Each structure stands twice: as C-alpha cells, then as structure tokens.
Amino acid sequence: MPQEISPIIKPDELIELNQTSELIIIDASNGNGAKENYGDKHLEGALYVDLNTQLANINADVSIGGRHPLPTLEQFSETLTNLGITPASHVVVYDDKNGSNAAARFWWMLKSVGHNKIQVLDGGFQAAIKAGFRTASKIEKPLKKEPYKIENWLLPLADIHEIDKVAQDTDFLVVDVRDEERYNGEKEPIDLVAGHIPGAINIPFTTNLDSNGFFLSPEVLKNNYLKEFGDRAAENVIVHCGSGVTACQTLLAIAYAGLEIPKLYVGSWSEWSRNNRLIATSKKE
C-alpha cells in the first residue's frame, strides 16, 4: 500500500523536490483574467487547468447541481490524460488564492479518484515566488501519456436530498464554510438569495489560515475541528460552500489535520437556494 504524503507542501519543500523529482505542477488559478495571467507569469513548468471547463461540468440550469457540478468521470479522465498525469505522477497544485480555491478542488478530485501523490502548495503562487521558485511566461506543453482510467469518485459525497434529511438532525453536522456575512444573510454577492441551510453551522474557510495566508498547523486544525465535530463520525459531517469549490479547502485542512475526510455537498448554497428549500438567516441587530 503506497505511503500517504502530506496534502500540503511548503514552498521551500517544493523548490527542493523540484530539483530531485519529476513533478507535474498545476496552476489552478481562476477568476477574471486568470488564464491571461498564467500566460504572463506562472511557476516554471506549471500547466494550467481551468475550473469552469475542466474541473466542473456547468449546466445552464444552476438549480441542478449548483454553479460548479463535478465533471463526469470521462471528462475528468480526459483532463488528466491531456495534462500528462498518470496514476504514478507526483502532482503539486497551486492557485493565486493561497490554495484556498480551485487548487483545493483539484486536490479533492484527484484524491477522490484514488490518486496518492497530490499536494497543494501552502501560500499559493505568491508564496512560491517569495521563496525563490522560478517563473516563466511561455505556455507549457504537457507530455502525452497513456489514458488515466477512472472508475468512480471514492471520497464521500452528499446531495440535496440527504441535506433535506439530516441538516437539522443533531446526530449530523452540516458545515457552511462561506464568509460569516453570507451565512448570516447580511449580503450575497454571487447567488440569488442570502442566508444559510437551516441547521448548518458556520466555520469560514478563512479560519483555516493564519494572518499570512498559510494553513494553521495540523495540531491546531485537529483541535479546532474536533471541538466542532464532537464525537460524530466523518460520514455524519457534510461540508459545503457556495458552489462546491471553496468547501474543498476545508476538506483539505481536515485531511492535513490527520482526520478522516467528511462528505462534500457539491451543489452547496447555489443549488439549495434555487430549489424552494427553507432558508435561515442570522442577521445581527
């Protein structure tokens, strides 16, 4: 059985590893201008992966699966094949948001198809540059290798029907990782309705990071999450965000803490809020 590696890699560790090992480095930065920014400057050797077209299978109707549904297994297999990733590849993924966005989503997806050597760069793009990792502006070309065969998503998933059943059951815990203002219903900059799933608690993903944007130590993260989870098994904990992307950062933090990875509700608030479900708010007076 292959030895587990840490899901997080520090910038200096990446520099050292890059000198001695054949890596596939992935830039998963997303948002306006992300692909153009990659073309202008990225970590040397990094290939670009697009959240919207490669890490999701976006529907015209957001009420079905939310804003970033998972791609089909066939689509993800094609993406991995085109990136030159094989089951033996050591993959390090980063983004421009301290690893808190699409990098974590890519980590979860690779982990969920049984890939062992997958790590997220702590601190993301800027931290690597600050540590002295070389950058490039040329478009990197992946090596074409054999097809990456995928059989199933292996990490646990929840859907909207499971949320219906368990969100207000105290034997279960639904965790909303969005910012407190969005959870409280004070503002909603992305989706149509503000608020949260009744029964869900709020643990903003930002609380996984220190003031410099690096992940807290595994010991601190473990202590924090055990306090919240109590004696609930991981299968009774469901994590969500707005569209199933940032929630993966919390799942990454939980894995970094050495705890079993809970369920991911991919549809998240973007699906829930569009399906005539009850909506709670916690607006401060």
Residues noted as catalytic: 241
Distance CA 148, CA 199 (A): 40
CA dihedral 272, 107, 212, 238 (to 10 degrees): 30
Per DSSP (E only), the strands in the chain are: 8-9, 23-27, 42-43, 47-48, 90-94, 118-121, 135-136, 157-158, 173-176, 201-202, 237-240, 263-265
Contacts by 153-156, CB closer than 8 A, 24 or more apart: 153/70, 153/73, 153/112, 153/113, 154/112, 154/113, 154/114, 155/108, 155/111, 155/112, 155/261, 155/264, 156/234, 156/235, 156/261, 156/262, 156/263, 156/264
Please name the residue that has the structure tokens 């369920």.
Answer: 263
- The alpha carbon of 124 is separated from its chain's Cα centroid by a whole number of angstroms, namely 13
Whole-number Cα distances in Å, 83 to 86, 89, 137, 143: 9, 11, 18, 7
